[in-house]
Structure 1
């Protein structure tokens, strides 16, 4: 091989050439940053990092103040405003730490390239000692030991940030231990069934065979604007279906839970709580779109397919003096996929 020939071995296959090995190009020449060459630029970068950490500290303090100062008043707007203020405070707190860390790494910390050969197992003591020395050199090069303000800012910012999560959690402990409320929904005796989301009460004559209506409790308009209503509505949502009475297979103790073929079942799947809402009129099957659990509405909403292992809870219904559909009581059991007093 003469001086003008490349040192790379080349294998020719047909019309293409494939190199067997490439020459290691090595590490490119190190390019110094402005902060490496100019002490004033280095000091300016340090101040910028400190300012970002201080912003994080301010964000943490603001989050804690907002948590105690802006309390939800039960309305949707107040909950939204409180969550927005908390989110902004936490965003500022975490963003300050993130931007400071990135800016510090780019402008202050050592950016000299290091090469370390791979070893399949534990390195020798000499190699380990060399690695520790490299880390110490990097710490010395970053100047963290002599940058007291920067060190204080990073410790304070990182130390305070967990308070944005810990304070709300700790302060909420012990506020409400009434677990019995999870057993029941807001359906009560005499509550009219209303369309969702319009809230229009439903008469039995509005339903024809094959009709399917998404139903919520009939409550005053002002109550539907509260946070409490939104929370409770998620548990109380119902699917109202009218079948031919001849197709219904009702247990003896449930024959008065329907009205002329109209039945009402919880929309919350007993598998993992997805909304069950896909109804097949010919088979009377109700399908959960998440995991294909299938319930037979004509036979007590029993499971006929899929991972759910319990029927959908039924809401007993009747009609009032004006012909409107009303609840006789709450669901026959807690809604949803699980409950601690339930065997399955």
Structure 2
């Protein structure tokens, strides 16, 4: 009889205990896995200092002073002298569905230890700990917010001296955890080579120009069609080079000639047009690049030319993008200049100084 009562009493006690667990189950806080994890480094090369830009999305967020965030580097990384002054902690203004293209608009103030409105940052061995401000409250970092931790400024963390895969662990009192895997390479650079040859470009826009019919009462200027009574550009010389010493353009040729008859060249001292007096000459204007017109061909409204003499007409003292030289030619005759078809041939040569 006593045995029966004891059995019943034990059964009742067990039922009460089960009922209590059913009504009030044990509360256990489970860590959530971090999402959208990445670490963008400035170098993946072995034994090389590198910056780290660590990004993750925290399902649990940070809501209390005890919600620390820790970043643990493998033992093969040399932490050096990194401190809070080499780091930044930013996060999005609220929860996000993804960290792609997100704005890290909230930048936290960091200090050696936590204070009012300041996150504390400490480095112990391989572990960097971020401690929330002493006045941290709910939504210090919102649930599902994207967090970015930048490490590296004056001081940087040095990569392992062995190429391999490594895991950086994110954890702490905020409750979420996750590993970010990175790869360290023997060399992360590609050497690209190229050769630029020494170059001189030189073009003449028109190879045949004419004054048309000359007159003792009118100045005549050459062009590519029939000549002009007003000054015009007959053709362009275009020159450019990568030569460090630049280039020079020279010309040599005869004055206007018909048989044994010639029209006087102006000479190597520039002069203005003198209607009714025999003259043959040219002048230039330069635009673009570093090139300049040489004397005596640079004077506005004055012309020069020394027949059968090599003369420098333009130059650049340094390497230069294309310079366009507009060339103008003048011809005048006297009333007694013999009639006939006159011609002149000028040879232009560009020479670079490499």
* Common fold: TM-score over 0.5: no
The structure, 1 or 2, with the larger RCO (C-alpha pairs under 8 Å, 6+ apart) is 2
- Whose strand proportion is higher, 1 or 2? 2
TM-score grouping bracket, smaller chain normalisation: under 0.3
Give the TM-score normalised by structure 2. 0.26
**Structure with the bigger percentage of helix:** 1
Q: What is the TM-score of this pair, normalised by structure 1? A: 0.27
